[in-house]
Structure 1
Amino acid sequence: MRYIRYACIAVFAIALIAIALANRELVLLKVLPQEVAGYFAVNPTLQLPLFLVIFMGIIVGLLVGFVWEWFREHAVRAEAARKGREVRKLEREVKRLRGEKHQGKDEVLALLDETG
């Protein structure tokens, strides 16, 4: 199973390298469209290789998806925490009730009663 994982990683790495080599030309990134830039005094631009733009788009998309999913699952995590607190409360109550049941009895008889 480990070799299959390594093979998949290798294929993925080769594909990323091929994309990077095929898209090495520089592209001009502008912050604002030309029509809107006329209203402002500055219009910052940046020249990057196209593969960096593609990879940054993928990374930003993944991060937005992870954050979105984390917010979406908030209700599930809150419910699990509530159930965990309830379980701990009930375990304490069972322990207390078992102690009350065997109070005043011989320790050996109490142990035999618990196991049986």
Structure 2
Amino acid sequence: MRYIRYASIAIFALALILIALANRVMVPVRLVPQDLTGFTALNPATEVPLFVVIFGGILAGLILGFIWEWIREAGERAAAARQAREMQRLRAEIKRLKRDKHEGNDEVIAILDDGRA
């Protein structure tokens, strides 16, 4: 199984390298479209290889997706935490009830009864 994982990683890395080599042309990246530069006082632009733009877009999409999913699952995490607290409270109550049930009884019977539950 480990070799399959290593082979998959190697194939993925090779694909990324081939994409980078095929898209080395320099492209301008601007913050504001060129038609709107008259309305802004600041128009930073830089030239980067196309594969940097492609990989940057993929990375930005992944990060936004992870953040979106984390926010979406906040309710489920809160519900799980509530259930865990409720289970802890119920376990403590079961212990208390067992202790109260065997109060004044023989300790051996209490231990045997506690082991059956």
User: Structure 1 length as normaliser, TM-score?
Assistant: 0.95
Partner of 2:51: 51
Partner of 2:31: 31
Alpha-carbon separation, structure 1, partners of 2:93 and 2:102: 14
- Which one-letter code corresponds to 1:78 in the other structure? A
User: Structure 2 length as normaliser, TM-score?
Assistant: 0.94
The offset of 1:63, in angstroms, is 0.2
The offset of 1:35, in angstroms, is 2.2
Partner of 1:113: 113
The offset of 1:25, in angstroms, is 1.2
List alignment gaps of at least 5 residues for structure 1. none
Moved more, 25-34 or 88-97: 25-34
Alpha-carbon separation, structure 2, partners of 1:79 and 1:24: 49
Indicate the percent of aligned positions where both proteins have the same amino acid. Answer: 56
Any idea what SS the aligned residue of 2:29 has?
Answer: strand
Alpha-carbon separation, structure 2, partners of 1:112 and 1:42: 80
- Which one-letter code corresponds to 1:18 in the other structure? L
Any idea what SS the aligned residue of 1:104 has?
Answer: coil
Alpha-carbon separation, structure 2, partners of 1:14 and 1:35: 39
What value does the CA root-mean-square deviation take over the aligned residues? 1.0
Any idea what SS the aligned residue of 1:29 has?
Answer: strand
Moved more, 101-110 or 80-89: 101-110
Work out the number of aligned pairs and report it: 116
Alpha-carbon separation, structure 1, partners of 2:66 and 2:115: 48
After superposition, the Cα gap between the structure-2 partners of 1:115 and 1:40, relative to the gap in structure 1 and judged at 3 Å, is closer
Partner of 2:42: 42
Moved more, 58-67 or 28-37: 28-37
List alignment gaps of at least 5 residues for structure 2. none
The offset of 1:56, in angstroms, is 0.6
Any idea what SS the aligned residue of 2:39 has?
Answer: coil
